Chain A
Amino acid sequence: MKRLSNIKHLNNLLKTKQISCTELTKRYLTEIEKENKTLNAYVRITQDAALLAAKRVDEKIAKGEELMPLEGIPMTLKDNISTKNIETTCCSKMLEEYIPVYDATVWEILQNQNAVLLGKTNMDEFAMGSTNETSIFGGALNPHDTTRVAGGSSGGVASAVAGNIAVYGLGSDTGGSIRQPASFCGLVGLKPTYGAVSRYGLIACASSFDQIGPITSSVEDAAIVYDAISLYDKKDATSCGKRCNAQSTLENSIKGMKVGILNEYFEGVSDDVKEAVDKALNAFEKLGVQIVKINIPEMEYTLPVYYILACAEISSNMGRYDGICYGYTTPKYNDTTDMIFKTRSEGFGREVKRRILFGTYVLSAERYDSYYKKAWKLRGSIIKSFKAAFADCDVILAPTVPDTAYETNFTLSDLADNYLSNICTALANLTGLPAVSMPCGFDQKGLPIGIQIIGDKFEDAKILNAAYQYEKLTHDTIYKSKEIGVML
């Protein structure tokens, strides 16, 4: 059974009154109660808000009013997206019980469409990590194999969508945090062009890298959500206001499209992943694309540059957590300085501290020039090189992650290895380019493998177009729906 859009399917069910929104929402809430115990995808369930929105939708349907594309669709938000009056913790002790007094812009947009928020989902603490295990609520598990992680840092969203206890979710991506969990869980994860989606209300990780994006069970759903949330926001100075209509070009043929391959991307990937990506390349060739080899001279510097700059921004963004105006405060202290030191030392986990310390180091007076300043300039070079590469190709193809989902409590032995797993994804954040991950097969253990399509700036519609055409061709071989949650 090939269904390319759960959102459209549900929209139709609601429109034709085959199910009421309230009924639909209740079904999801029931399944969440059942499945979340295992998956630990949700850290907070917002039953009242969900049912209230559902009621509004049902009233609209009763009046015969037309439904907007995302109206009444049960969904989730990663717990670093500010929701007014609803706890937003970034899964950190530092923001335990923190309740925002304002809404993130993306959430405002979705509320205007009466999106049904089922709850807030699990993540690595402050979005720093690739397994969701740095969360104070424990890790989110992979519905394909619950002895394995859902990925990070948007692990909760991916787990919920793959477990059929949310139709779609919004995650955030700083170095791969949407795409990697999507890849691990056999889903579609889109990181839009930097600036396409407002960051206002996204609790910052690394400001010039962060983007909010959808995790969905199909490319069309990703396009529908992207079209809805990629609006100009005057509250965000880095908001571009490029509103492209991704849905309208999905059906375009990609015959003649030039697909670039970076050799370096295939270093360090597992055999299974390499095989699956090769197969995907064959499929693309069947669709009439032309494979071209492209070269980025600064490829070996991309990850170090990413970590230097991202950690620098992180160290600055994390400075505000001092226990004074909101969030956790240490219970015992001698004076203000002691209070701030203790609050931060107790409130932050190890990974967060690690990045803060490293970021502070690269910005410190004696090292600024040789680390931050140099890395910043290198970033410019890398961006230029990619711009040049896109003169020779339309999109770039690459694996999303060198491997498939790790086992829980799997400690990547080498710290550097941990960070190296971002090698395929961090590039898009470094350059601000749009990138979508989608499934392309399974490994020998039956775990999903992800392939990434990267586009030039503002070519979000183009990469979704390519992804959609690939999905249409290979749908039954790349998706495996888990028989849990709400069966649509």
Chain B
Amino acid sequence: MVKRDDVLKIAKLAMLYIEEEEIESWIFDMNKLIGFADTIKSVEDDELEDFDDISNIVNAFHEDEVVKSLDRELVLKSRDGGEDGYFIIKRERNNRGYL
């Protein structure tokens, strides 16, 4: 089960803000779902085999041949053409510093 701190931590990972007044309802919802999910706890780990994936397809590759890229105009279309050919985030302050 989760408490207040857990919910806030999960929200931070998910890049979501949770307002103070919402926290209780989120704790409730999460615990409801976790309780629901906990049903699987009764299955023993050693009873279970490894499972790869649902496709059963192997080696789906694309050939190493260049295909023309999207026109820059279309790339930046959703952002009104960007600025000087770049996507731009205005006024970003970032204490990671590099790059």
When distances are taken between beta carbons in the complex, the residues of chain B under 8 Å from A415 are 29, 32-33
Indicate if A473 sits at the interface (CB-CB under 8 A): no
> Which residue of B11, B16, B17, B79 has the most chain A CB atoms within 10 A of its CB atom?
B16
Indicate if A237 sits at the interface (CB-CB under 8 A): yes
Within 8 A of A (CB), among B75-94: 75, 77-79, 87, 89, 91-94
Knowing A208-B54, A300-B39, A374-B40, say if A98 contacts B30 (CB, 8 Å): no
Interface string of A386-419 (1 = CB under 8 A from B): 0000000000000000000000000000111001
Knowing A307-B37, A416-B32, say if A336 contacts B16 (CB, 8 Å): no
Interface string of A352-390 (1 = CB under 8 A from B): 011011101110100000110011111111010000000
Knowing A322-B15, A336-B89, A341-B15, say if A374 contacts B36 (CB, 8 Å): no
Band of interface residues on B: 35 or more
CA distance A208 to B53 in the complex (A): 9
Indicate if A315 sits at the interface (CB-CB under 8 A): yes
CA distance A358 to B49 in the complex (A): 25
Within 8 A of B (CB), among A188-208: 194-195, 208
Within 8 A of A (CB), among B54-99: 54-55, 57, 60, 62, 70, 74-75, 77-79, 87, 89, 91-94
Interchain CB contact under 8 A, A378 and B16: no
Knowing A304-B36, A357-B11, A415-B29, say if A325 contacts B43 (CB, 8 Å): no
For residue B32, give the distance in angstroms from its CB to the closest CB of chain A. 5
When distances are taken between beta carbons in the complex, the residues of chain A under 8 Å from B74 are 101
When distances are taken between beta carbons in the complex, the residues of chain B under 8 Å from A379 are 51, 54
CA distance A194 to B55 in the complex (A): 8
CA distance A321 to B75 in the complex (A): 16
Indicate if A340 sits at the interface (CB-CB under 8 A): yes
When distances are taken between beta carbons in the complex, the residues of chain A under 8 Å from B34 are 358, 361
Instruction: Give the A-B contact count at a CB cut-off of 8 A.
Output: 137
- Within 8 Å by CB of B94, from A322, A335, A419, lies A335
When distances are taken between beta carbons in the complex, the residues of chain A under 8 Å from B45 are 374
CA distance A31 to B47 in the complex (A): 58
Interchain CB contact under 8 A, A340 and B40: no
Indicate if A467 sits at the interface (CB-CB under 8 A): no
For residue B25, give the distance in angstroms from its CB to the closest CB of chain A. 9
Interchain CB contact under 8 A, B26 and A357: yes
Interface string of A275-308 (1 = CB under 8 A from B): 0000000000000000000000000110111011
For residue A381, give the distance in angstroms from its CB to the closest CB of chain B. 6
For residue A430, give the distance in angstroms from its CB to the closest CB of chain B. 9
Interface string of B5-29 (1 = CB under 8 A from A): 0010011011111000000001001
- Within 8 Å by CB of B40, from A301, A356, A364, lies A301
For residue A264, give the distance in angstroms from its CB to the closest CB of chain B. 14
Knowing A325-B87, A361-B2, say if A195 contacts B17 (CB, 8 Å): no
Ranked nearest first, the 10 interchain pairs of A and B with the lowest CB-CB distance are A380-B51, A326-B78, A377-B48, A237-B60, A336-B92, A345-B17, A335-B93, A101-B74, A360-B14, A304-B39
Q: Which residues of A contact B (CB under 8 A)?
A: 98-99, 101, 194-195, 208, 234, 237-238, 240, 300-301, 303-305, 307-308, 315, 319, 322, 324-327, 334-336, 339-342, 344-345, 348, 353-354, 356-358, 360-362, 364, 370-371, 374-381, 383, 414-416, 419, 431-432
- Interchain residue pairs with CB less than 8 A apart (16): A208-B53, A208-B54, A237-B60, A308-B37, A324-B89, A326-B78, A335-B92, A336-B92, A336-B94, A341-B16, A345-B16, A345-B17, A356-B16, A357-B30, A374-B43, A380-B49
Q: A308-B37, A336-B94, A348-B16 are in contact. List 4 more A-B contacts (CB 8 A).
A: A240-B57, A327-B78, A334-B93, A381-B49
